[in-house]
Structure 1
Amino acid sequence: MPRQGQEGRPPNRLVHEKSPYLLQHAHNPVDWYPWGDEAFARARREKKPVFLSIGYSTCHWCHVMAKESFEDPGVAALLNREFVSIKVDREERPDIDSVYMGICQQMTGRGGWPLTIVMTAEKKPFFAGTYFPKESRAGMPGLMDILRQILTLWHGSQDELYQAAEEITRLARPGPILPAGDPDRMLLDRGFRELAAHFDPKNGGFGSAPKFPAPHILIFLLRYWHLTGETRALDMAEQTLGAIRHGGIWDQVGSGLHRYATDARWRIPHFEKMLSDQALLVLACTEAYEATRKPQYRTVAEECIAYVLRDLQDPDGAFYSAEDADSPGGEGAYYTWTQEEIDRALGPGEAAVASTLFTLTPMAGTGTDPGSIPGDGRQQRCVLSAAGTAPVPAEGLDITGQDVAIKRDAIRSRLAAAREKRPRPARDDKILTDTNALFCTALARAGRVFKNPAYVSAASRAMQFLFASLRDENGNLLHRYRDHVSGIPGFAEDYAYTIAALIELYEASFRIACLRDALTLNSLFIAHFRDADDGGFFTASDMADDLPVRKKEWYDGAIPSANAVAFDNLMRLSRLTGDAMLEEEASACARFIAGAAARSPSAVAGFLAALACSPQTGAAQDLVIAGDPAHPGTRALLDAPGTRYLPGLLVLHRPPGAAGEEVETVAPIARGREDRGGRAMAYLCSGSTCLVPVNTPEELLNNLRGGKGRKATP
């Protein structure tokens, strides 16, 4: 998929790749190599530095740098003559990106994409940066000037460059291990205080522009409120979710979450849509609905799921990675509107109603008041956000609230139909194991909470695809699938998120095969990623050998870290099965994260969210329901916990007969927990203390510990 205007150029080596990002550069005049031995062998043979560029297909500034520099014959001539040039898709190779992004942040104090690295043939960098224009301007160095300066040093002071590269690489390697930390309530309190100090009380969210939704932080706040009764945590989560839903960061016409907001009020987004962001928002809204029973959170989750199923689902059931911010009309052209376009799509009467329901914010001059457009503004492109403080404001309309909701949906449908006539942004149609598994987790949890079996079925179908298409002959996970070809050995995120999805699918369906598969993958994960000396898990497996540094990340990025998810998985699996060895692994992982994050616990909000409903903080309860699933009494016991917000509860179902014996082989903790005389029984334990088994929903609910925050739940 060459970029527009490149089709007539002869292809470079990237034409044989599967990554949409690499294929976007396959017709550049730059003689790109994919990451691999061929490129580094040539660099050694010809004694040339390596120019490494890392990005991803829906990255706006990656497109800008490609157009300005990598499609330019002059830049290409210099790179082709003096360097060996390598392109990497960060989503295909997060391990490469992690190493060199860490080095860039170490050298410059910042990072981002496109990531620009110059290094030796031994993969040791001596220059790092992000986006550069072709020529220097406004105090920003240009790529051509940078390359010329590097060449001067390479030919005149190569020994010094090699020494610098050695030192930079040495500093990038894991340093002295921090003392193991205490994963306890105090860590949760410190994490909350940090987040509260950075909270924007006027607009919601954290810090100033740009604003990232970070739904995993909101999940931690909900669980912290549940554990401690701290109402400010609940308020922060709800205010942020409301601001996101009403802002331009939410696609008011077609649903779905854009990448981030460029302003503090959530009005002007970076328009890229990523599968991982949709998954996390669904999880946060589903949990907010559990905690508050407010229907608007369920609505957002369901609309977000509808967007993914409509626009990102592969015919075989898995999910594509992202949709671009750019389209032929420019960044955001598909999503933005002029007043004239709205009038034409709706007609004068409906356009007047729309002006009450929605606010137009100009793309240029975002500091202006909402809706203020220079001149008549009819030709200026604007972003839609919802007006008012409620999802469907009735103020100013001479109709009932229910009618307003109907009007709003009708207006959205008509705008969506008009928008569909525009050229769509490009879609990154590669299928990644980690983000697919994350969305499966969101689907399964939403299906369980909203009692929607279609969501659970969609999650099961996607998981079947992953197991059929993204494993090698030994059962190890692969990372990427596209164009009927799988490849790239799986990373820690692939294993951690797939295991989490299988556990969630078990809780949504009680199919014991899900739990068995989770345990099998978890064994592979421990065998190949575990740091036996210091706890936690490496990003790449022990079979990977093509990077100078083996990273072990503890902090969250756009999604919770693999170590945070692994801790949660290990703890949940140990509780579901009674396996003490898994509990020990979880504890070792928790101590590693707590030690590494001691100075900034809010950087590990994904871990804090898991810790807040774990045995370490006394918030966990384990429930075994024994009984025939077809019996109304069993169903009543299984359904009872769903009426409460119980993030620390895990449920295991033991049916009678041979099916129950099968459960016992996977989860020995179920042994001896059977129905009595055909009557379903509920066995509830907290830590090492178990209560007398009960057989009615009322008795079970009386025994379930709701947490300090539950009294605010309707």
Structure 2
Amino acid sequence: MGNRLANEKSPYLLQHANNPVNWYPWSEEAFEEAKERNCPIFLSVGYSTCHWCHVMERESFEDEEVAAILNHNFVSIKVDREERPDIDHIYMSVCLAMTGQGGWPLTILMTPDKKPFYAGTYFPKHEKWDRVGLVEILIQVSEKWRQDPGLLLGMAEKVSSSVFAEKRYSQDGELNEETLLKAFSLAGELFDKEYGGFGTAPKFPTPHNLAFLLRYWRREGGREALDMVTHTLERMYRGGIYDHIGYGFSRYSTDKKWLAPHFEKMLYDNALLALAYIEGYQATGRKLYARVAKEIFTYVLRDMTSPEGGFYSAEDADSEGEEGKFYVWTPAEIKDVLGEQDGAAYCRLFDITAKGNFAGRNIPNLIDAPSFNDDGELTLAAEETAGYIESLRNKLFDAREKRAHPHKDDKTLTSWNGLMIAALARGAAVFGEDLYRRAAVKAVEFIMQKLRRTDGRLLARYRDGEAAYPAYLDDYAFLVWGLWELYEADFTASHLENALALTGQMIDLFWDAENGGFYFSGKDTEQLISRPKEVYDGALPSGNSVALLNLLRLARLTADGELMDIAEKQIKAFSGSIGQYPWGYTHFLMGVDFMLGPTREIVIAGKAGAADTGAMLNAARQAFLPNATLLFHPPGETGRQIEKVIPFLKEQRQINEKATAYICENYACRAPVTDLQQFADMLQQEPVYLSRNVHH
């Protein structure tokens, strides 16, 4: 017999629809029921591809004994953190404050008026591994609620008043080049010189850390920042965190070598990592990085794209109830597919042994494989060509496709789609690959058609024909990022128009006019127990950090002083907090780097499709110019459309019918050039850095 989750669209909630626990979705009905019964609420937050969520479901939520305790003593609520990140943010902050750690599944016990008094993550059914058992917790709490509810209500008031008091970000201090240096120095202290990445296991890719270091290298010169990036990019690719048979990255590595991943694959990681590898390629010209980015896109377009054009959210770590089963191999399985000789060659190269490197089986990896050559291929014996290795991979991929696949979370999230649109757009621009551009355009069209209300308000989630939940800050910020990247890929004026319109909506819905910064949820949404602002850049960059860089780039592109004013206020709002530990805010620091300047505005005036125009655009796109904006001004009606968005383009036209480049830097414009080599030389000239503080 099902419960109330059977009517939901979330894959995670539907996974629990047949539990004996009488689950409610987050709803007024649930809270009214708790008030009527005068009982506490058991809140469980997770997501459909979460390994420990599955474990807790098998051990406890499918168990009749646990269900009886919950149904008799609590009102139980299930929340998909990817659909309701607002709820997740609020109660995860409680867990971090009460226990010092967080993660999923998130377990909260709270009063009927949503005030928490107990928090944790995964609990086994009964005590084991020094972890208290769920049954013991539930029995103790239900007895205490009956005997002395005032004690728990008092705890809830105390927790709420301390955790939910609006966080005051320090505004003391300047964010300047010294802040960037401090972040770089912290990176150096945390850097793993042997295997790349930062800190110890578990290791997360955190691509914005690499993006920041590339910008720091571009600003300061020297090799150290660049070497941290290149070493990390190569070591991550070599590891088992990368799927060498089907492509794409898993969420994190459980060890320092990047060997054994937590096997779930998230759309956002693959979007941000594709961007990191593309920027690595732009900065160094190393073909390996271009190949990895293209392989990520192959994976996403093959396995993570809906027929309608949106991108799916994630793939599970588990299949057939076992973590990683889909991805691991024995030597015998390899040889069954490839034959003895080819199988032995593959096993030797990809570390497939009888002993195994993961619970007696093997994760294919290149950790100890030979070096890569200039073409981005492994340096192997003459007969082991790249084509030969690829033929083996293809056979193994076809064989693996016949296995039971991990669950795919097929909902479309506006925020994560924005990131993949940004990555594909950059790939289209840098690699000249129209397939990527078309996929990005189709995803934008899907969001604009399916994930907007009739009044234009963005929505957060689409699945099975239904769009729901007013979009959060991340949805607006990440989608705007995708739109301006897509403008620089195909120069369609509507992308910029949409980016500017959504930015205006974002300011109206989320901006804190009193203290600066953006709230996570809009002023028009359900009023939860608190309304937080997030600026920390964790596994994902924060909405505030992405919004800052968007505001700065759009202000430069359009010469809009109001957008620049908001960006300056945003930097001021968080300056003291970021200055204390800048390495925790590396995406935000990319905005600071942009604000410090110099920035370049590059305009190419020329005929669309003409050879000289294409050559100039390609020169600008191939170079690593993170603080440059690129505009295209063609003649005719298309040119007039972009002039409506960016009026100053009217003056920047072709000279003598030739493609003409205009470069402005530090608010001064150079003489226009029509010679391709002269333009390329100008792009490579070191920018003139004007040291100054940001925020006064």
TM-score by length of 2: 0.95
Which AA in structure 2 matches 1:224? Answer: Y
Q: Is the 2:337–2:396 contact (alpha carbons within 8 Å) kept by the matching residues of 1? A: yes
Which residue number corresponds to residue 143 of structure 1?
134
| 1:470-511 deviation per Cα after TM superposition (whole angstroms, max 9, x unaligned) | 000111110110001111110000000111111011000010
Once the two structures are superposed, the pairs formed by residues 517-532 of structure 1 within 5 Å of their partners are: 517-532=498-513
Would you say 1:44 and 2:26 are equivalent positions? no
| Cα distance in 2, alignment partners of residues 448 and 488 from structure 1 | 33
| Cα shift at 1:546 | 3.6
Pairing of 1:346-357 with structure 2 (within 5 A)? 346-357=338-349
2:224 to 232, 239, 242: 232
Contact 1:211 1:261 in 2 (8 A): yes
1:599-610, aligned counterparts within 5 Å? 599-610=580-591
Distance 1:706 1:73 in 2: 70
Find the residue that maps to 2:580 and give its secondary structure: coil
1:180 and 1:595 in contact (8 A); partners too: yes
State the SS of the aligned residue for 2:139: helix
Structure 1 alignment gaps of length 5 or more = 1-9, 361-370, 710-714
Amino acid of the residue matched to residue 251 of structure 1?
D
Q: What's the secondary structure of 1:550's corresponding residue? A: coil
Of residues 111, 127, 134, the one that matches 1:120 is: 111
- 1:11-410 to structure 2, matched below 5 A, reads 11-172=2-163, 173-328=165-320, 330-360=322-352, 371=353, 373=355, 380-386=360-366, 387-391=368-372, 392-395=377-380, 397=381, 399-400=382-383, 403-410=384-391
Question: Please, which of 628, 635, 639 is the counterpart of residue 656 of structure 1?
Answer: 635
Secondary structure of the structure 2 residue equivalent to 1:383: coil
Given that 2:597 and 2:627 are in contact with CA atoms closer than 8 Å, whether structure 1 keeps it comes out as no
Deviation of residue 633 (structure 1)?
3.4
Is the CA contact (8 Å cut-off) linking 2:206 and 2:538 kept in structure 1? no
CA spacing shift, 1:213–1:583, aligned 2, 3 Å = same
Answer with 129-138 or 410-419: which moved more: 410-419
Equivalent pair of 1:273/1:322 in contact (CA under 8 Å)? yes
Separation of aligned partners in 1, 2:606 and 2:687: 31
SS of the aligned residue for 1:86 comes to: strand
C-alpha spacing 1:70/1:113, structure 2 compared with 1 (3 Å): same
1:363-410 deviation per Cα after TM superposition (whole angstroms, max 9, x unaligned) = xxxxxxxx5728xx9993221112414355445x4x25xx43122111
Once the two structures are TM-superposed, the CA of residue 168 in structure 1 deviates from its matched residue by: 1.3
State the 1:671 CA deviation.
3.4
8 Å CA contact retained: 1:229, 1:708: no
Contact 1:181 1:593 in 2 (8 A): no
CA offset digits 1:645-665 (Å, max 9, x no partner):
211111111222343332222
Distance 1:31 1:181 in 2: 52
Decide which of 659, 680, 685 is 2:659's aligned counterpart.
680
> Which residue identity lines up with residue 381 of structure 1 in the other structure?
R
Contact 1:646 1:706 in 2 (8 A): no
Shift of residue 202, structure 1, vs aligned partner: 1.2
1: CA distance, partners of 2:4 / 2:320: 26
SS at match of 2:662: strand
Structure-2 residue corresponding to 1:366: none
Alignment-derived partner of residue 368 in structure 1: none
Tell me the amino acid that sits aligned with residue 506 of structure 1.
Answer: Y
* TM superposition shift of 1:329: 5.2
The aligned runs of 1:542-691 (5 Å cut-off) are 542-612=523-593, 614=594, 616-691=595-670
The 10-residue stretch of structure 1 (76-85 or 147-156) with the greater mean CA deviation from structure 2: 147-156
What displacement does 1:349 show? 0.4
| One-letter code aligned to 1:108 | T
1:174 positional shift: 1.6
Equivalent pair of 1:286/1:298 in contact (CA under 8 Å): yes
Q: Distance in 1 between matches of 2:296 and 2:184?
A: 28
- Say whether the 8 Å CA contact 1:339–1:378 is kept in structure 2: no
State the number of aligned residues: 682
Task: Report the TM-score, using the length of structure 1 for normalisation.
Answer: 0.93
Contact 1:681 1:693 in 2 (8 A): yes
RMSD: 1.8
* SS class of match (1:598): helix
Moved more, 463-472 or 334-343: 334-343
